[in-house]
A = this chain, B = another copy of it.
């Protein structure tokens, strides 16, 4: 009988054409499926909690997959890390119930958008931060973030509002702006995000921080439900899938883990 597994992993998205398998492209999902096949002889589909775009990183992506042959989770972790390139690292594999679904069972996700706000980016951070050289007005950004918080129609903050989505309403349960020296961190948490929503929020907040858009325009832009030049898509390298949340109920009792 098939056994389902829940796996947590981190990746550096620099070398990948994003999460999702695409013909002729190197993708994170593709690399994981290839490694599982090499390790087990089976060809399971690896289902992620969601896609990430090319160049976007994950601190803790969560996936599920099924294997027919019994495998020890600890050995799977070691085996996958031996087969995978070092820019994808498996943090943990555990057995999951057949009802666990990395995407559908998730109760929320946290993304962080990391900005280096100084004249030069330290070379070792150049692929993991978005560079904004002039000082950002964090107070204006915080004010704007406060207006984005909560339930809104985020049509003005998605890259392709014409896609067939049942609703463009989402609830941002966290939208924070934090400054620590030259590091500026945007934290966005929601049960679900629209396509390129976090990079749109980041692109907008950076414009506010630069003084190019006033924070008071935030509500007006939300109400307009229309994407305009005031909301650019921020570059991928600053974006990190930071955490995926699940309710405790979906896990197996401790004795079966």
**Chain A contacts to B: CB under 8 angstroms:** 10-12, 57, 59, 81, 86-91, 120-124, 126-128
B121 with A86: CB separation less than 8 A? yes
Question: Closest residue of chain B to A12, judged by CB?
Answer: B123
SS class, residues of chain A in contact with chain B: mixed
Q: A9 CB to closest chain B CB, in angstroms?
A: 9
Q: A33 CB to closest chain B CB, in angstroms?
A: 18
25 contacts between A and B (CB under 8 A): A10-B120, A10-B122, A10-B123, A11-B123, A12-B123, A12-B124, A12-B126, A57-B123, A57-B124, A59-B122, A81-B120, A86-B121, A86-B123, A86-B126, A87-B123, A87-B126, A88-B123, A89-B120, A89-B121, A89-B122, A89-B123, A90-B120, A91-B120, A124-B127, A124-B128
A127 surroundings in chain B (CB, below 8 A): 124
Chain multiplicity (copies): 2
Which 9 pairs, one residue from A and one from B, show the smallest C-beta to C-beta distance?
A12-B123, A89-B120, A87-B123, A86-B126, A124-B128, A12-B124, A10-B123, A11-B123, A89-B123
Question: Closest residue of chain B to A126, judged by CB?
Answer: B86
Tell me the complex Cα distance, A57–B122, Å: 11
Q: A60 CB to closest chain B CB, in angstroms?
A: 10
Q: A132 CB to closest chain B CB, in angstroms?
A: 15
Question: Closest residue of chain B to A86, judged by CB?
Answer: B126
Tell me the complex Cα distance, A90–B90, Å: 36
A90 surroundings in chain B (CB, below 8 A): 120
Tell me the complex Cα distance, A126–B128, Å: 13
Tell me the complex Cα distance, A207–B165, Å: 57
Tell me the complex Cα distance, A90–B11, Å: 29
A124 surroundings in chain B (CB, below 8 A): 12, 57, 127-128
Q: A12-B124, A89-B120 are in contact. List 10 more A-B contacts (CB 8 A).
A: A10-B120, A10-B122, A10-B123, A57-B124, A81-B120, A86-B121, A86-B123, A89-B121, A90-B120, A91-B120
